[in-house]
Amino acid sequence: MEVVETNSENLLKDFKVTVPATDIEERINLRLDEVGKGANIPGFRPGKAPVSVLKQRFGPSIRGEIIEKTLRDSTEALLSERGLRPASQPKIDITSYEEGNDLEYSLSVELMPDIGDVDFTSIKLNKYKVTASENEISDTLENLAKQNRTSESLKTKRAAKKGDIVLIDFVGKIDNEEFEGGKGNDIELELGAEQFIPGFEKQLIGAKPGDSKTVNVTFPDEYGGSKLSGKDAVFDCSVKEIRKAVIPKIDDEFASKLGMDSLDALKQAIRQQIESEYSQFSREKVKRELLDELSEKYDFEVPPRTLEFEFEQVWKQVEEARKNDKLDSEDVGKSEEELRVQYKKISERRVRLGLLLNHVGESNELSVTQEELNKAIMDHARQMPGQEQKVVEFYRENNEAQNSLRGPIFEDKVVNFIIEMADVTETEISPESLKEEIEDEAKKSLIKESSKGQEEKKRSTKKKASPSKKESGGTKTVKSDKPQKSVKKSKK
């Protein structure tokens, strides 16, 4: 194999590669021999068909197979011999090949930057600890009681008022035609709870048992994406009964109906759930602080193609937001050029942090286990009741879909690894203060982002690593602080 380096510019290298025709033909003949040993061709004993017959039958497909394998193997060898670590899939273009001639192709490689070691112990983070208040637990219990209410008929007949529960039959029509899903019998409807189409419940206030009421409503625009969106409808309603809500007493018996041993056990479960939600937000806040600090501390060149790809994805979101008048308030009124500069910086930050997290994970031998991946698949399956098996099969048969789950798991493991060794100060704050923090964070967000880190991909070379495509968090631009060298791993 002959290799000529045609370009070396920053993190980009280009090569012209020539593989001799003799090497290719030798590989083809060896593969034909392998196939021939098991081939069952009419007119010949199994495994005894001559090479000429094998070439006629299998030649084109085997040649294509060998060319593809030669490209892959020669590229892997070139990268390995020169110690190159691609940041993305190398670009290969065949420039010349005909049967019996040399194979010539161009290879363009985008390289991983030299990041060095990361000093975790110098990272200082703040973590909030929040204890659920008694008021929150009481409010949750009251909501649970309302959700598990029953109803009973009024002892005295009167007109329905807000807060009452009416038992009704109804038939809905659009242009005097009944429509699918527009009929109901013995439906309990709490007036004022806004469970039905806007305006429906209000028109039943004042009705009495035995009344027939005509309710005129308009379905909201984008009503579940259905054909009913924006349509005027008429519902013929029969009021059968007026009932009142009966809220269960919050005691041990109520807790037992919810599957708990006692009221105290129910309160404890509620407390744990509330504090778990607070803990999750606190963890996300710590993660954002970590990413901001890493962004401040480490500055290195990012692969241009990876950056361009990331920017294209981000810009699509921005254009979609502009199209639908959903730009962040801070972006409204900015020119396209200003927005491009702003989001190019955001993209650069995301790529740099993705590479950095991937580097930390790879350097410290972090990876996603099959057990962790299986758990993520099952979590997704549980979100689709009745279709769990289809969801599981989809992920099991789709490597790309598996990678979409593997990435966030890997990123979380790397973040947890760094937080474990960072200097973390825990501060106890009230639920009210945390809620203010949550509201402030929501206002600051420029783009909705999901944690889509990317696990190191096992490409063709052993030293190869792949960038994380996205990171969660703020949009602070990167400063020119050089990376600090230190030990890879030193538990505190």
Instruction: Provide the pLDDT for residue 305.
Output: 87
Helix (H) or strand (E) holding 151: strand 150-153
Residue 195 pLDDT level (bands cut at 50, 70, 90)? confident
The four Cα atoms 356, 358, 364, 368 give a dihedral, to 10 degrees, of 150
Domains of the chain by residue range:
2-110, 120-129+263-444, 150-246
Q: Whose CA is closest to 201, among 210, 211, 182, 188? A: 188
Residues 247, 249, 250, 251: is their CA dihedral positive or negative?
negative
Q: What is the pTM of this model?
A: 0.65
Residue 442 pLDDT level (bands cut at 50, 70, 90)? low
Mean pLDDT of the 23-32 span? 89
Distance CA 3, CA 109 (A): 14
Task: Return the number of other C-beta atoms located less than 10 Å from residue 207's C-beta.
Answer: 22
Reading the block at residue 22, the tokens are: 């003799």
With pLDDT > 90 as the criterion, what percentage of the chain qualifies?
55
Pairing of strands 91-96, 124-130: unpaired
66 touches 91 (CB < 8 A): no
Q: What residues form DSSP beta bridges with 127?
A: 426
CATH topology of domain 2-110: Alpha-Beta Plaits (3.30.70)
From residue 113, how far is each of 351, 362, 455 by CA, in Å? 12, 14, 17
Of 139-143, 207-211, 447-451, 465-469, the poorest mean pLDDT is in 465-469
At residue 168, does pLDDT exceed 80? yes
Q: Domain 120-129+263-444 maps to which CATH number in 1.10.3120.10, 3.90.470.10, 3.90.1150.10, 3.40.1230.10?
A: 1.10.3120.10
Mean pLDDT of the 271-283 span? 92
Q: Whose CA is closest to 267, among 251, 246, 288? A: 251
Of 46-60, 93-107, 178-192, the poorest mean pLDDT is in 46-60
At residue 242, does pLDDT exceed 90? yes
Each residue's pLDDT tens digit, 316-357: 999 998 888 888 888 888 899 999 999 999 999 999 999 999
Instruction: Provide the pLDDT for residue 422.
Output: 92
Instruction: Provide the pLDDT for residue 415.
Output: 94
Instruction: Provide the pLDDT for residue 59.
Output: 81
Pairing of strands 423-429, 124-130: parallel
Instruction: Provide the pLDDT for residue 434.
Output: 79
From residue 247, how far is each of 45, 152, 254 by CA, in Å? 84, 11, 11
Residue 443 pLDDT level (bands cut at 50, 70, 90)? low
Q: How does the average pLDDT of the chain come out, rounded?
A: 85
From residue 206, how far is each of 151, 161, 184, 195, 236 by CA, in Å? 19, 6, 21, 18, 16
Q: Do domains 2-110 and 120-129+263-444 have the same CATH topology?
A: no
For tokens 């002959």, name the residue. Answer: 2
C-alpha triplet 42, 47, 53: angle, nearest 5° = 55
Reading the block at residue 464, the tokens are: 């190869």
Mean pLDDT of the 232-254 span? 95
Distance CA 126, CA 26 (A): 63
CATH topology of domain 150-246: Chitinase A; domain 3 (3.10.50)
Residue 148 pLDDT level (bands cut at 50, 70, 90)? very high
Angle formed by the axes of helices 336-363 and 399-421, to 10°? 80
